[in-house]
């Protein structure tokens, strides 16, 4: 069985695939961080959505007042949803792109710009920075994913 193992793990020895793995792990970890930031704001702002989450804060009506929305919590949640909407296409299309045989330098350019743009997007959303900071960082990540999709369709198209 070690033969099969060796075969399947060769993918991770390919440099373009290693770059894909690195940047995919980075952007997915960044997305996961949004959960912690949401939890941080929910606890510090005392703004919850599930009744069972406020049980430790008091009984009956005294706990009910913490079932409310908070602008900071909602802002992080919007950033999190925007991550889902944009990082999911990157992970899916990026995998196909990494397997479509791009040059390592071209692939790294795509992955680095995407990861940088999404990290900037998070800062632009959470601080928040004045527009068009958030809009531009979103657009750059979008364009990178579009460019990878073009390469995938050019290489693999079979309808």
Strand partners, 67: 48
Residue nearer to a copy of itself on the CB measure, 10 or 62:
10
Phi, psi of 67, deg, nearest 5? -85, 85
Map the footprint of a copy of itself across residues 9-68, applying CB under 8 A.
9-19, 21-22, 24-25, 28-29, 31-32, 34-35, 49-50, 52-53, 55-56
Q: How far is the CB of 92 from a copy of itself (least distance, A)?
A: 5
Report the length, in residues, of the chain: 159
Q: Whole-angstrom Cα distance, residue 17 to residue 154?
A: 19
Q: Whole-angstrom Cα distance, residue 152 to residue 149?
A: 5
Phi, psi of 130, deg, nearest 5? -60, 150
* Interaction between residue 91 and a copy of itself (CB under 8 A): yes
- Exactly one of 41, 42, 47, 80 binds a copy of itself (CB under 8 A); that residue is 80
Q: Whole-angstrom Cα distance, residue 143 to residue 78?
A: 21
Q: How far is the CB of 87 from a copy of itself (least distance, A)?
A: 8
* Interaction between residue 122 and a copy of itself (CB under 8 A): no
Q: Whole-angstrom Cα distance, residue 99 to residue 97?
A: 5
Q: Whole-angstrom Cα distance, residue 19 to residue 46?
A: 41
Q: Which residues bind a copy of itself (CB under 8 A)?
A: 1, 4-5, 7-19, 21-22, 24-25, 28-29, 31-32, 34-35, 49-50, 52-53, 55-56, 75, 78, 80-81, 84-89, 91-93, 95-96, 99-101, 112, 128-131, 134, 138, 142, 145-146, 149, 152-153, 155-159
């Amino acid at each position: 069985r070690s033969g099969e193992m060796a075969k399947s793990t060769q993918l991770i020895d390919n440099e373009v695939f290693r770059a894909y793995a690195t940047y995919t792990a980075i952007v997915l970890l960044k997305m996961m961080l949004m959960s912690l930031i949401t939890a941080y704001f929910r606890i510090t702002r005392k703004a919850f959505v599930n009744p069972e989450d406020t049980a430790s804060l008091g009984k009956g009506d005294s706990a009910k007042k913490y079932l409310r929305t908070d602008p900071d919590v909602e802002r992080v949640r919007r950033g999190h949803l925007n991550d889902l909407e944009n990082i999911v296409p990157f992970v899916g299309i990026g995998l196909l792109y990494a397997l479509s045989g791009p040059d390592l330098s071209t692939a790294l350019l795509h992955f680095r710009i995407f990861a940088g743009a999404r990290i900037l997007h998070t800062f632009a959303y959470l601080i928040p920075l004045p527009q068009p900071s958030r809009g531009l960082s979103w657009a750059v990540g979008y364009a990178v994913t579009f460019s990878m999709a073009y390469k995938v369709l050019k290489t693999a198209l079979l309808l």
